[in-house]
Amino acid sequence: MDHTILPQTRRELLSMIGKAGGGVAMYQAMTALGHAAETQFSGPPALAGARKGASVLVLGAGLAGMLAAHELTKAGYKVQVLEFQDRPGGRNYSIRGGDKVVETDGTVQDCNFAPGNYLNPGPWRIPHHHRTLLHYCKALGVELEPFIQLNHNAFVHRTKAFGGKPQRYREVATDFKGHVSELMGKALNAGSLDDKLTKEDKDKLLVAMREWGALDKNMAYTGDLKVASQRGYDRAPGGGVGGAPTPSAVNSLSDTLSSNVWTQMGFFFNYVMQTTMFQPKGGMDMIGKAFFKQVGKLVRLNTRVTAIAQNDQGVSVSWEDTKTGQKGVAAADYCVCTIPATILNQIDIQVGPAMKAALKALPYSNSVKIGLEMKRRFWEEDYSIYGGHSFTDQAISLISYPNNNFFKDGSAVLLGAFAGGAGGYQLAGMTPAQRIEAALVQGSVFHPAEYRKEFASGVAFAWSRAPWIMGCCATWTEESRAAHYQNLCALDGRIVLAGEHASYYGCWMEGALLSSLDAITRLHQRAQAA
């Protein structure tokens, strides 16, 4: 706590209280601005008054599609939803014991997790500022619990640092800021930066470096008890006669830099990764299920879209039932198409060349997530790690510890890999069993004594091999976005696209929802103006 500017008498206190009261008005304006800046969501859309009999066909029963169906129905439209899979939710998905995972080449995995355990292969965490998603979670009764993102006690591992031995994040992060502070102190005290800042700021910055960096009175970063009170002890403080602690030795600047710990320190500062984050209790698919409860009667599952046509009178969509082979054509005045670009590119869709070019120009990322069911929570019991991630430069990229049922006995599912880029393609190129084996080998670096011993079963989800999407999510570049994004989003006749790919929050559920709200708002305006 900082008590540096505390008033010393009652009168000073009351005077200060007065000043604080005076600041309220000024601050109020700023706060209002702050809210506006946080999200483009300003509540559910007011789309009342659809023309009598007006109809919309929604393609895809993921979050974007189901939200569109939900709001358009409320607005008075007649809505029908076609969904390829045998379940709603799309990428809002949790894999549980008894589920089958089928890949593009026909490979089938049976998930054998115990009841209550699950893997969220797609979205798994919700930022506090994703107001659209949080609004609908509350409105639809989806219970949320904290998702622990930053865990000081989890590990950082670099194959070529510390002889391959993982380090606790708190140790290397404390060392990083200690060394940076010490070096900054030296530069400041040598006058090297005197032309870059005022004398007053220099003095403040020296204090800041000393305190933030946990430096000693000589502005050196040493292994004293002050440092230990941040990075941890060799012998922890205790009680009674033997209670005195001993500090831990700090790492050298070279070793600290070799850990690349600043990568994690920066990661935790990403706005979408900042605390407080949440996850639905019981699995991410609780959100999709909650939407489905609203619109389920409008959804036709197991329905493959084969062609999308439109003319001046309306839209007609050809489909095929994947279970029965039945074929049909659905017709409506308008269409909200949330089919991912990867799939839409393979469908005969009657839109103009601009939208088609946009769809072609949009590559999807890949990603592999691997759930490892462990017989007990050894990361909690033996390592005091509750939630959060241990990072590595191996293909698995990280392992992540479950945020549900802390301290409970029995099995639990670790995220054994969240691999993107080259690591993701390597793992996706293996059989599911090989992926799980690789995850066990690589993850063992963090928990060598327990990882194999406690392993019960696994499931490995490779997005590039999921037949219903063949990729993870849209990855716009600055260039492709400039050339194609508006063409992707614009109404093409009676068809509008929606989904995370039609947003600036790519790969996030929030993007899918915001895109959907924007799409149906424009569609409604078009329909009312027609």
User: How many of the chain's residues bind a copy of itself (CB under 8 A)?
Assistant: 162
Structure tokens, 117:
């355990």
Residue 205 lies near a copy of itself (rule: CB under 8 A): yes
For residue 1, the minimal CB distance to a copy of itself (Å) is 5
Among residue numbers 470 through 529, which ones bind a copy of itself (CB under 8 A)? 485-486, 489-490, 498, 502-505, 511-519, 522
For residue 5, the minimal CB distance to a copy of itself (Å) is 4
Residue 388 lies near a copy of itself (rule: CB under 8 A): yes
For residue 253, the minimal CB distance to a copy of itself (Å) is 6
Q: Which is nearer to a copy of itself, 146 or 328 (CB)?
A: 146
For residue 444, the minimal CB distance to a copy of itself (Å) is 6
Residue 190 lies near a copy of itself (rule: CB under 8 A): yes
Residues 317 and 330 sit within 8 Å (Cβ to Cβ): yes
Residue 325 lies near a copy of itself (rule: CB under 8 A): no
Residue 320's contacts (CB-CB under 8 Å, 6 or more residues apart) are: 303, 304, 306, 326, 327, 328
When binding is defined by CB under 8 A, the residue of 88, 89, 423, 432 that contacts a copy of itself is: 423
Residue 194 lies near a copy of itself (rule: CB under 8 A): no
Residues 91 and 452 sit within 8 Å (Cβ to Cβ): no
Phi, psi of 526 (to 5 degrees): -60, -45
For residue 86, the minimal CB distance to a copy of itself (Å) is 28
Q: Which stretch binds a copy of itself (CB under 8 A): 101-109, 241-249, 301-309, 313-321?
A: 241-249
The neighbour count for residue 78, using CB atoms within 10 Å, is 16
Residue 341 lies near a copy of itself (rule: CB under 8 A): no
Among residue numbers 37 through 66, which ones bind a copy of itself (CB under 8 A)? 37-40
Structure tokens, 364:
């999807």
For residue 435, the minimal CB distance to a copy of itself (Å) is 11
Residue 429 lies near a copy of itself (rule: CB under 8 A): yes
Residue 400 lies near a copy of itself (rule: CB under 8 A): no
Q: Which stretch binds a copy of itself (CB under 8 A): 259-267, 283-291, 358-366, 457-465?
A: 259-267
The three-state DSSP-derived secondary structure of 103-163 is CCCCCEEECCCCCCCEECCCCCCEECCCHHHHHHHHHCCCCEEEECCCCCCCEEECCCCHH
When binding is defined by CB under 8 A, the residue of 104, 201, 249, 352 that contacts a copy of itself is: 201
When binding is defined by CB under 8 A, the residue of 245, 296, 363, 493 that contacts a copy of itself is: 245
Residues 173 and 152 sit within 8 Å (Cβ to Cβ): yes
Residues 380 and 408 sit within 8 Å (Cβ to Cβ): no
When binding is defined by CB under 8 A, the residue of 235, 293, 360, 453 that contacts a copy of itself is: 235
When binding is defined by CB under 8 A, the residue of 212, 219, 220, 376 that contacts a copy of itself is: 212
| DSSP letter assigned to residue 502 | G
Identify the helix (H) or strand (E) that includes residue 188. helix 169-189
Q: How far is 298 from 301, CA to CA, in rounded Å?
A: 10
Residue 35 lies near a copy of itself (rule: CB under 8 A): yes
Q: Which is nearer to a copy of itself, 145 or 348 (CB)?
A: 145
Q: How far is 67 from 513, CA to CA, in rounded Å?
A: 7
When binding is defined by CB under 8 A, the residue of 51, 110, 160, 346 that contacts a copy of itself is: 160
Structure tokens, 381:
């019991």
Q: How far is 414 from 465, CA to CA, in rounded Å?
A: 22
When binding is defined by CB under 8 A, the residue of 44, 314, 420, 493 that contacts a copy of itself is: 420
| DSSP letter assigned to residue 250 | P
Q: Which stretch binds a copy of itself (CB under 8 A): 216-224, 256-264, 340-348, 354-362?
A: 256-264
SS3 231: helix
- Helices 353-360 and 478-489, packing angle to 10 deg: 140
